[in-house]
């Protein structure tokens, strides 16, 4: 059988996590299909690039209009396939994408246009230089299930507005949402070859890395990110890696307990704790510790867990059984080492297959997995600290560095502390919502990743920087060309003095010594 007609025998299923029902099954795209998609993207990309930024922005504007019109359908589909409450699908997925489109519509032209590079060196004054931003060509995107719409859409929009074609390999758990994104983009006028979705599993993703794409934007776990970095290294494929987090929240002694506790439970439980930016560790000043944990436990017990389609629901199901087992294993380890469960701590089997009660833990420490590994579930572990230095040390005692938050009524103190925390983003008096600030760069340090998405820096990842320099005196030989010799050397010494000597007299002497350079004969 030739590779062209080989078909993949692996299948994946899209399942409603609240009910366990299969929504649709897909055959994974095999190597040949992945390569064919990338070839089609290549063939179409140069015309797309030549279309110009303004024309591509007008397609983006149409996409934004369509998405706004279809917002409820899109949000409902996200809830059915990923489980999150409908209103969260609207705010953290649809709104994030609408606003990211707004950012690009308003700024992409300015950010992508050529940039003059003035020359400071006297020897280079006859030249004019500029930075040119060129698309990479075909950008591969591999995305996770937890934000199945906003993650691939924000990345794809900036890739495409910059003139790239995109081939998206969505999570095997959320193919339907990715196909809906594809439909919207095509309806808005994006050529079919410029945005293509290839449903599949990890092997499909691996095939995409091997397919000859020019850059990869990967979002997912640290474990997969490391495999991808290794595969990419073999091809010297540039990658952006948006990986996991174990975000700390620091509640200082002057914080408002009522406000910060509400922030803690939202930050820990939004999307059932399955956000890369979830509050996964909470450190509270000892003077506030007992009241803080008590209020968090009371508020956690009030949260309504259920099917995200119900508008009263605040916490939906986890994505699948494996995720629940991970949460249970972290809980078991923490409790066996002395953690106190103040709320939750159990599955909610009566609601459906994948529900877990919002859980608040006290008496935790850094020996426990719950404070070291990404839990990715509705768990808020809270630990006491004695002073700001200890809080910073605890926050930084992690292999991760995605985001963090500091809670205080003194913004100056909060900002100062934010600078001491090793993370890609630090918010003062909020968490998680930075993902919805389209101007803000998103990305981590340490094991949380490499590179940035969103905003200006996210757009810069989608282009190759080319430097173009043009000499304004094409008929003149440059003074630094051959021939060398004693006279030329003296002139150049003088030239260095003219430019860089500290005293005026020495600089003037340098001017006199170097003046003869223009009379010298060049080969
Ligand atoms: P995952 O790593 O299991 O999968 C992510 C994607 O990689 C999926 O599409 C998967 O099919 C693909 N994949 C798996 N193996 C592959 C391989 N060998 N080669 C190529 N592709 C492969 O992650 P997940 O469970 O889908 O998502 C949850 C993780 O993502 C969490 O760790 C979370 O913190 C992280 N995440 C990070 C961000 C961020 O912006 N930093 C955002 C969302 C999620």
Digit-coded pLDDT (tens) for 60-109? 999 999 999 999 999 999 999 999 999 999 999 999 999 999 999 999 99
Q: Which atom of ligand 1 is nearest to the CA of 224?
A: 2
What pLDDT was estimated at residue 413?
98
436 lines ligand 1 (CB under 6 A): no
Bridge partners for 468 per DSSP: 130
Q: Which atom of ligand 1 is nearest to the CA of 208?
A: 20
Mutating to test ligand 1, I would choose from 28, 82, 144 the residue with most ligand atoms within 8 A of its C-beta, which is 144
Average of per-residue pLDDT values in the chain: 97
User: Please, are residues 47 and 40 in contact by the beta-carbon 8 Å criterion?
Assistant: no
User: Please, are residues 318 and 377 in contact by the beta-carbon 8 Å criterion?
Assistant: yes
Strand 425-428 versus strand 215-219 pairing type? unpaired
145 lines ligand 1 (CB under 6 A): yes
Among 444, 367, 446, 417, smallest CA distance to 249 is for 417
Burial 475-497 (b: 16+ CB within 10 A, else e): eeeeeeeeeeeeebeebbebbeb
Alpha-carbon distance values, 44 to 56, 113, 215 (Å): 14, 22, 17
Ligand 1 mean position, distance from CA 168 (Å): 13
Domains of the chain are 3-118+126-243+457-466 (3.40.605.10), 247-437 (3.40.309.10), 477-523 (no CATH)
The rounded radius of gyration (Å) of the Cα atoms in the chain is 28
User: Cα(273)–Cα(270) distance, rounded to whole angstroms?
Assistant: 5
373 lines ligand 1 (CB under 6 A): no
User: Cα(180)–Cα(168) distance, rounded to whole angstroms?
Assistant: 12
User: Cα(345)–Cα(232) distance, rounded to whole angstroms?
Assistant: 40
Burial group, residue 10, by CB count within 10 angstroms (0-12, 13-18, 19+): middle
451 lines ligand 1 (CB under 6 A): no
User: Cα(371)–Cα(282) distance, rounded to whole angstroms?
Assistant: 9
400 lines ligand 1 (CB under 6 A): no
Ligand 1 mean position, distance from CA 376 (Å): 12
Q: Which atom of ligand 1 is nearest to the CA of 435?
A: 40
What pLDDT was estimated at residue 462?
99
Ligand 1 mean position, distance from CA 450 (Å): 14
Q: Which residue owns the Cα nearest ligand 1 atom 42?
A: 276
User: Which runs of consecutive H residues, i.e. helices, occur in 51-199?
Assistant: 53-69, 71-82, 86-88, 96-112, 150-161, 175-187
What pLDDT was estimated at residue 1?
38
Q: Which residue owns the Cα nearest ligand 1 atom 13?
A: 202
Cis amide leading into 483 (omega within 30): yes
205 lines ligand 1 (CB under 6 A): yes
319 lines ligand 1 (CB under 6 A): no
Q: Which residue owns the Cα nearest ligand 1 atom 4?
A: 220
What pLDDT was estimated at residue 169?
98
Ligand 1 mean position, distance from CA 240 (Å): 13
Q: How many CA atoms lie within 13 A of 63 on its CB side?
A: 32
Mutating to test ligand 1, I would choose from 221, 240, 455 the residue with most ligand atoms within 8 A of its C-beta, which is 221
Q: Which residue owns the Cα nearest ligand 1 atom 17?
A: 202
What pLDDT was estimated at residue 522?
87
The DSSP symbol for 252 reads -
- Backbone φ and ψ for 108, nearest 5 degrees, come out as -60, -40
What pLDDT was estimated at residue 242?
98
Alpha-carbon distance values, 99 to 79, 102, 275, 440 (Å): 20, 5, 19, 12
- Backbone φ and ψ for 76, nearest 5 degrees, come out as -65, -40
276 lines ligand 1 (CB under 6 A): yes
Q: Which residue owns the Cα nearest ligand 1 atom 26?
A: 144
What pLDDT was estimated at residue 163?
99
Mean pLDDT, the chain cut into blocks of 10 residues (523 residues total):
54 98 97 98 98 98 98 98 98 98 98 97 94 98 98 98 99 98 98 98 98 98 98 97 98 98 98 98 98 98 98 98 98 98 98 98 98 98 98 98 98 98 98 98 98 98 98 93 95 96 97 90 87
227 lines ligand 1 (CB under 6 A): yes
User: Cα(517)–Cα(523) distance, rounded to whole angstroms?
Assistant: 14
Q: How many CA atoms lie within 13 A of 167 on its CB side?
A: 33
Tell me which residues are annotated as active site: 242, 276
Mutating to test ligand 1, I would choose from 145, 197, 224, 270 the residue with most ligand atoms within 8 A of its C-beta, which is 224
Alpha-carbon dihedral 476, 480, 485, 487, rounded to 10 degrees: 80
247 lines ligand 1 (CB under 6 A): no
**Among positive and negative, which fits the CA dihedral 173, 380, 430, 314?**
positive
What pLDDT was estimated at residue 7?
53
201 lines ligand 1 (CB under 6 A): yes
**Stated pTM of the model:** 0.97
Q: Which residue owns the Cα nearest ligand 1 atom 22?
A: 202
3-class DSSP string for 175-196: HHHHHHHHHHHHHCCCCCCCEE
């Amino acid at each position: 059988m030739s590779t062209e007609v080989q078909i993949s025998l692996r299948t994946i299923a899209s399942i409603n996590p609240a009910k366990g029902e299969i929504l649709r099954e897909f055959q994974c795209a095999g190597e040949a299909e992945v390569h064919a998609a990338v070839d089609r993207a290549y063939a179409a990309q140069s015309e797309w690039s030549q279309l110009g930024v303004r024309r591509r922005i007008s397609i983006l504007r149409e996409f934004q209009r369509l998405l706004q019109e279809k917002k409820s359908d899109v949000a409902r589909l996200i809830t059915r396939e990923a489980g999150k409450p409908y209103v969260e699908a609207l705010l953290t997925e649809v709104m994030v994408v609408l606003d990211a489109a707004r950012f690009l519509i308003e700024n992409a032209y300015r950010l992508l246009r050529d940039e003059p590079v003035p020359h400071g060196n006297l020897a280079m004054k006859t030249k004019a230089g500029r930075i040119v931003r060129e698309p990479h060509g075909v950008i591969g995107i591999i995305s996770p299930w937890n934000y199945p719409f906003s993650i691939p859409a924000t990345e794809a929009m900036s890739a495409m507005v910059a003139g790239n074609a995109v081939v998206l390999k969505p999570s095997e758990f959320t193919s339907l949402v990715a196909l809906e994104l594809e439909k919207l983009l095509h309806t808005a006028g994006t050529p079919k070859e410029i945005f293509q979705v290839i449903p599949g599993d990890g092997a499909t993703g691996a095939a995409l890395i091997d397919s000859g794409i020019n850059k990869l934007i990967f979002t997912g776990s640290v474990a997969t990110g490391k495999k991808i970095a290794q595969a990419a290294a073999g091809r010297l494929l540039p990658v952006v890696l948006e990986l996991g987090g174990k975000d700390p929240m620091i509640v200082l002694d002057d914080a408002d307990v009522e406000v910060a506790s509400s922030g803690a439970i939202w930050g820990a439980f939004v999307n059932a704790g399955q956000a890369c930016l979830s509050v996964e560790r909470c450190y509270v000043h000892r003077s506030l510790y007992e009241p803080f944990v008590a209020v968090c436990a009371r508020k956690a017990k009030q949260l309504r867990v259920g099917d995200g389609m119900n508008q009263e629901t605040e916490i939906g199901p986890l994505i699948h059984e494996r995720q629940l087992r991970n949460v249970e294993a972290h809980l078991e380890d923490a409790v066996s080492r002395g953690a106190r469960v103040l709320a939750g701590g159990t599955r909610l089997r009566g609601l459906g297959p994948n529900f877990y009660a919002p859980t608040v833990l006290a008496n935790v420490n850094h020996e426990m997995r719950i404070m070291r590994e990404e839990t990715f579930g509705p768990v808020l572990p809270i630990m006491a600290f004695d002073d700001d230095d200890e809080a910073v040390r605890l926050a930084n005692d992690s292999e991760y560095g995605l985001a963090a938050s500091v809670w205080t009524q003194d913004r100056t103190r909060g900002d100062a502390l934010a600078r001491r925390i090793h993370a890609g983003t630090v918010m003062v008096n909020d968490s998680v919502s930075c993902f919805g600030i389209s101007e803000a760069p998103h990305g981590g340090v340490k094991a949380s990743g490499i590179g940035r998405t969103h905003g200006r820096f996210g757009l810069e990842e989608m282009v190759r920087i080319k430097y173009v320099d043009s000499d304004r005196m094409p008929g003149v030989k440059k003074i630094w060309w051959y021939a060398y010799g004693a006279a030329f050397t003296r002139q150049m010494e003088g030239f260095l003095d003219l430019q860089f000597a500290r005293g005026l007299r020495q600089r003037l002497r340098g001017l006199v010594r170097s003046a003869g350079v223009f009379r010298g004969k060049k080969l």
